[in-house]
Amino acid sequence: MYAVILRSLLLVATTSACDVSYDFGSSADAVTTSLSVTLTWWQVLPQPSKPNVYMSTATGTACNSGYFGAQFHGDGSTTLLFSMWDAPSFQNNSQFVFQSLPGSPNCRRNALDASGKSTGVQCAPGIANETVKLELGVPYVFNMSIIYQNVSGALWEVSMRDSFTGKVTSIGKIFFVDVPMGLPSTCRTLGRSQNPPASGLSSYTFQEYFEQPRNFLTSATWSDMVAVHHLGGGDGKEHRPVGIISECCDHGDWKHGDTVNGSSASCLPPRCASPAIHFSMGPKLLLDDAIVRDHPTCLGPPPPPPPCPADQFCPLLADPNAQGGCATEAESYPPDLPGVQLHQQQVDRPLRHVP
């Protein structure tokens, strides 16, 4: 239910991420056209540093999925981002080159977390040579809404409002073609699924270290998510998440020696009107025991069992579900073990411990 939103963030060796999915309860099927959520950065330490960190909310329409949020970059700059993929299935139409089209100067077709041909549209103020300076402790309100529609589709915009100065920045506008390309008009709502298209609410939020170095501390909160049907004919009712699926746990790329810890701690309804998800990530953070218990592979795979003593062996059983273990040679092959067939070559060759 919560994996229907496409996430093509490839967690390769240079990426560490922690994500939390929302639980919308009875609002999961709500028909809405506008979503707001607030981001507050608390720390990016030490300063000056070379952080490359992204705080993002992933969501989508009933036909297109993507994410938006804010980034700190290693050169000291900050920026905003709004990226959406083409619909997973549609009919070609000679009138439209693509199913999703840039709708403002700060948007362009892009391969989106991949290489090769474009797979969607990416928007950022920097594409139009605009700069954005994010500050710590300021609640930034992000909004994704339909701002225009015609017989061919709808134009969506993501904007960000600085709650301290009141300044509103347009991150970008994207036009999604629907009916002319064989897609339903329900594409003009927020969606809980894109294949097949379905109106509703589904979202997750994440903190990501997308490049080295990662030896710095970041702390930020996503809060006050609310969705409404703001167009004519809508009831204007607010729909909020009722909770989260689970807190997140991240230990970086432990396969390559990275030990950056990341986790979340949330204020949930009824204490908070919407979940306030506080993310922290850094090389010296300790992970809460309860979170590690909920995510048993967070710190990497369990250590392998110790090797068998020299005078014991591991039976090579035909049962693929057999667990590792040690036994004496005499105990290794009980002749009446149900469902186990041993081949002569298994008996003749040296035995080894199989974890």
The pLDDT profile of the chain, 355 residues, written as one tens digit per residue, is: 333 333 333 333 346 789 999 999 999 999 999 999 999 999 988 766 678 899 999 999 999 999 999 999 888 889 999 999 999 999 999 999 999 999 999 999 998 877 778 899 999 999 999 999 999 999 999 999 999 999 999 999 999 999 999 999 999 999 999 999 999 999 999 999 999 999 999 999 999 988 877 788 999 999 999 999 999 877 889 999 999 999 999 887 666 666 788 999 999 999 999 999 999 998 888 888 899 889 888 877 766 766 766 665 555 444 444 445 555 544 444 444 444 343 333 333 333 333 3
Residues 338 and 290 in one domain: no
Identify the domain boundary among 244, 261, 294.
294
Label residue 89 exposed, middle or buried (CB < 10 Å: 0-12, 13-18, 19+): middle
* Structural domain for 289, as ranges: 16-294
Residues 275 and 345 in one domain: no
Token pair 């009831």 is found at: 235
Q: Check if the beta carbon of residue 172 is closer than 8 Å to that of residue 158.
A: yes
Tell me if 266 is assigned to some domain: yes
Residues 246 and 328 in one domain: no
Identify the domain boundary among 294, 316, 335.
294
Query: How many structural domains is the chain composed of?
Result: 2
Tell me if 21 is assigned to some domain: yes
Residues 188 and 266 in one domain: yes
Residues 352 and 230 in one domain: no
Residues 310 and 290 in one domain: no
Tell me if 158 is assigned to some domain: yes
Q: Check if the beta carbon of residue 124 is closer than 8 Å to that of residue 80.
A: yes
